[in-house]
Amino acid sequence: MDPAAALDAALAAIGGFEPRPSLAVGVSGGPDSLALTILADRWARERGGTAWALTVDHRLRPESAAEAERVGRWLAARNIPHATLVWRDAKPSTGIQEAAREARYRLLAEWCAEHGCLHLLLAHHRDDQAETYLIRRRAASGADGLAGMAMVREVPGLRLVRPLLAVPKARLLALLDAERQPYVTDPSNRDPVFERARLRLGPGPRGREGEGPGSLAAEIRANAANRIAREREVGSLLAAAVALHPAGFAVLDAAPVAAAGELGERALDRLVAVIGGAGARYPLRRERLARLRQALGETPFRPRTLGGCRFVSWRGRVLALRETARAAAPLSIAPGGSTLWDRRFLATLSLAAERPVRIAPLGSNGAAVVGRNRPRDDNPLPRFIYPTLPAFWDDAGVLAVPHLLWARTTTGCRASLAFRPPVSLFGAGFTVV
C-alpha cells in the first residue's frame, strides 16, 4: 500500500482526532520519521489542522545539535513547524540507550502537555515491528510481548500513535527519493554492540528460514488478536471482582480471582500496578503472582505483600493496600503548586494558602491523632486503612486527610487530592488496525 494511503487508512480506523487535528510527530531526521512528518503534515493540513515536528537532541554526540538545526531548516522549507527539545540531564555510564529512550518520551510528552496536544505520532514501520518480534522471541518473551508494538498506546494525557506499522521501510525511502528530501543517518543504528543494529546489518529482519517481514507480520497479527482476547477476559474478571477506591486501595472478591488461573494472575498484576504505583516499569515475576493467586483461595487468608502492596483479609473479602513503608518520601507543595506524590496522587495547593504544606502517608501516629479527634462511626473506611492514606502536614503536625473529610482547623485545608495511578485498572486495550 502507498504510504499516504496507509496513513490515511490507519488514522481513519483509529479515530478520535479533533475536527481540526493538532498532532505532534517525533522526528529524528532519519528517513522513517521524516517521511512520517511529511505525510502527517499533509494529512493535518487537509483537515485544517497542524502537525508539529519535535526533535529530541540527546546531546550524546558532538554533531547532534547541528543535525537538529539541519532538520529544522529542512522542515521550515516545507512550512512545517518544528521544535528542538534538549536532554540536559547528566548522562548515565551504563544503559544509555534505555535512559535516552525514557528521556525522549518524557520530553515529547512534556511538550505535548504544555501545548495541549493529545496525539504523538511515531514512525515505527513494518521492519521495526518484525525486529521487535524477533528480539522478543529470541529472549523467550511471553505471549503479550510476541504481539509486537501496538498501533495506539495511551499514556497519561497523551496517546502514542504508530500509523505506519504496515508499511515497509523501502516504501518510506522511496517516498523521500520522490520528494528529493535528504535525511540524517544515525551511526548508532549500525553499531553492532546493539542487538537491533545487528539485525539491520544482516540481510534484514528475518527469523527462521523463509521468515521475512511480510510473513512475520501474519504471525505478529495472530499473537495480537490473542492478546486482545485475553485482555478482554481480564477486564471482565476485574470488573466482577475488584472495587477500586479513590483513596488508593481496592476491595477484592478473592474466590473468582483464585479460580481464574493465569487470567487471575494477570488481574493481580494490573491491580498491583495501580495500588503499588509502579505501573508497567517493574514487571512482577509470574511465580510470585501465582503464589498470591493460590493464597487467595486459602481459608483463612493470611496477609501477603507484593509489589509495594499489602493484601489483608476483611469481612470475607481481601483489601489491597499500599505498603506505607514503601511509599514515596514526603514532598513539599508551595501555594499555587501541584505535584504527583507516590506516583499515584496529584496534590494541589491553592494559591490562597498562607504557606507550603507537605504530603506524606498519615502513618500510625497521624492516625492516632485523627482517631482522637473524630467520632468512631462517621466514616466507612476501616480503621487499619488510615495509616496508608495520603495526608497533608505542616509544622504543627497533621493538617488534613481529604479522604476522611478531616482537617485540623475550622477554616479547612486549601489543598486537594486526586487519585492518578500510572496505569488504569482496565487500561487501554492493545490496538491492531
Alpha helix locations (H) across 242-379?
A: 254-258, 262-276, 286-296, 363-372
The reply to whether 55 and 138 lie within a common domain is yes
The reply to whether 201 and 250 lie within a common domain is no
Cα of 135 vs its chain's centroid, Å: 21
Question: Considering the entire predicted model, what is its pTM?
Answer: 0.77
7-51 tens-digit pLDDT: 999 999 999 999 999 999 999 999 999 999 999 999 999 999 999
Q: Which three cell numbers stand for residue 427?
A: 487500561
The reply to whether 90 and 146 lie within a common domain is yes
CATH number at residue 12: 3.40.50.620
Q: Count each helix (H run) and each strand (E run) in the chain, helices first.
A: 12, 19
The reply to whether 295 and 201 lie within a common domain is no
What is the extent of the structural domain holding 300?
A: 246-325
The reply to whether 192 and 100 lie within a common domain is yes
The reply to whether 298 and 350 lie within a common domain is no
The reply to whether 69 and 208 lie within a common domain is yes
291-308 tens-digit pLDDT: 999 999 999 999 999 999
Q: How many domains does the chain have?
A: 3
The answer to whether position 233 is within a domain reads: no
100-109, 110-119, 198-207, 355-364, range with the lowest pLDDT: 198-207
Question: What's the confidence (pLDDT) of residue 142?
Answer: 83
Tell me the C-alpha distance between 175 and 100, whole Å: 29
Q: Which of 118, 117, 115, 91 is nearest to 102 (CA)?
A: 91
Question: Which residue, of 325, 357, 385, is where some domain finishes?
Answer: 325
- For residue 122, give the DSSP letter: -
Question: Which residue, of 275, 293, 325, is where some domain finishes?
Answer: 325
pLDDT tops 80 at residue 427: no
55-107 tens-digit pLDDT: 999 999 899 999 999 999 999 999 999 999 999 998 888 888 889 999 999 99
